[in-house]
Amino acid sequence: MVVPVPAPGPGAAASPRTADSVSFAETAPARVAAPSGACAGPSAAETAALVAATNEARVARGLAKVRAHPTLSHAAAAHSCDMATRGTLSHAGSSTRGPGPRLAQAGYGWAVVAENIAVGPRWDAGQALAQWNLSPGHLANILHPQAREVGIGGAFTADGMGYWTAVYAAPR
């Protein structure tokens, strides 16, 4: 979902592009123990690998790298946990209508925001990124030319479903 600024409107149309080849280990994603009432999520190494793969795709197309931002990462992880808890895939959260309001609620002043979400059985970060690379709209978010920062989060349910959120943004 791309949230244009300043005028609200539907997501930007993406031009067709070919997906990059990104390799990830074919192992079960690492789970990080969560405090009571929280969701288990990916390891820091797994999210760092997804940021690195995102930057490989951007640099290959002449775009600037994005840097991981802690507020975006926290918002992405919280949204993934919210989706996992509710068992739904949606840009709207329990307390927000989408990524823009969610980031504002987290205290991040944004000029541009785009969000990718995914869910799949036993999906690790590589599988989420592979699916996003196959979708012109999701790939357009990864390659948003104005994005400067990224936050990536995941949550895993007891039955092995992986919920993923990637937020691409530029601060005001």
- Per-residue pLDDT at 30 exceeds 70: no
Q: How far apart are CA 76 and CA 83, in angstroms?
A: 11
Q: Where are the domains of the chain?
A: 69-172
Please give the Cα distance from 79 to 130 (Å, whole number): 20
Mean pLDDT, rounded, for 22-35: 30
Query: Is residue 18 over pLDDT 90?
Result: no
How far apart CA 121 and CA 108 sit, in angstroms, is 31
Q: What is the pTM of this model?
A: 0.77
Q: Answer for the pair 33, 39: CB distance below 8 angstroms, yes or no.
A: no
Q: Model confidence over 86-122: pLDDT tens digits?
A: 999 999 988 888 999 999 999 999 999 999 999 988 7
Please tell us whether the domain made up of 69-172 is placed in CATH 3.40.30.10: no
Q: For 46-102, how does the pLDDT look when each residue is reduced to its tens digit (9 = 90+)? A: 999 999 999 999 999 999 999 999 999 999 999 999 999 999 999 998 888 899 999
Kindly indicate the confidence band of residue 37, based on its pLDDT and cuts at 50, 70 and 90: low
What separation in angstroms does the CA of 6 have from each of 15, 33, 110, 112, 157? 22, 40, 11, 9, 37
Q: What is the pLDDT of residues 146-159, one digit of tens each?
A: 999 999 999 999 98
